[in-house]
Every structure is written in C-alpha cells, then in structure tokens.
Amino acid sequence: MISQSDQIYLAIAIVQSQDERRACDALQKAGFDLVSISTHGALLGKRNSTLLVRVPETEVQSFLDIIHTYCHERIEYIATPLEGTPLPIPVSTPITIGGATVFFIPIESYEEL
C-alpha cells in the first residue's frame, strides 16, 4: 500500500497525433514514465494518442504544464450540408480540435514484478 504522502496517479492524456512525439519527448526528458497507445477519435475519426503516465502527486503541475505547452488546439474545417437548399451543397464549417483531455486516477497500490 502507498502512503498518502507518496500518492501516485495514473494520468491518461488523450492528445492529437501531431502533438504526441513532442509531448512524449518532453515528458521523458522531465523524468516521467509513460506508454503511448495509438487511438482514434469518435467525432472526426482522427488519429489520437493516449498517453499513460505515472505521475507523483508532487509532479502533477509539472506534467500539466508540459501537456499544455506541447498539445495545442487547432481549427479544422468539415463539410456540412447547407439546409434549405434543393441540392445538398456542402459548406465548410470550422471546428476546434486538439489540445488534450487528461484524467487522473489515484493508484492505491501496485507491484513491480
């Protein structure tokens, strides 16, 4: 069992594939242990990466600063049909994608085998 003062979190960060390499390099350089898994987004079917990162409680802000620095939002355009026209005319609609979604799960215990 881990004592409360030694709290460790499993951070699950879902980032755009364009940001994954630079974010991973910065996290590893800062001493974080991580695993990157290729995933797909639901809205646009875009490639993402899910980072599984071991984050000590004292390093949570450092972790978030790195993610914020390397994972940016972007404007992308998708074709949507123009309503009220006899023919479906596609119109470019801007949407914001990117950035990161981060979840923290406290680790109550773990074993290294």
**Per-domain residue ranges of the chain:** 4-107
Q: Which tens digit of pLDDT belongs to each residue from 69-88?
A: 999 888 888 888 777 777 77
Residue 24, classified by CB atoms within 10 Å of its CB into exposed (0-12), middle (13-18) or buried (19+), is: buried
Which of 3.30.70.120, 2.30.30.30, 3.40.50.1000, 2.40.50.180 would CATH assign to domain 4-107?
A: 3.30.70.120
The reported pLDDT for the residue numbered 1 is 42
DSSP per position, 12-67: EEEEEHHHHHHHHHHHHHTT-EEEEEEEE-SSS--EEEEEEEEEEGGGHHHHHHHH
How confident is residue 50, by pLDDT bands cut at 50, 70 and 90? Answer: very high
The reported pLDDT for the residue numbered 44 is 58
Which of residues 105 and 75 earns the better pLDDT score? 105
Q: Which tens digit of pLDDT belongs to each residue from 6-43?
A: 899 999 999 988 899 999 999 999 999 999 999 886 65
85 three-class SS: coil
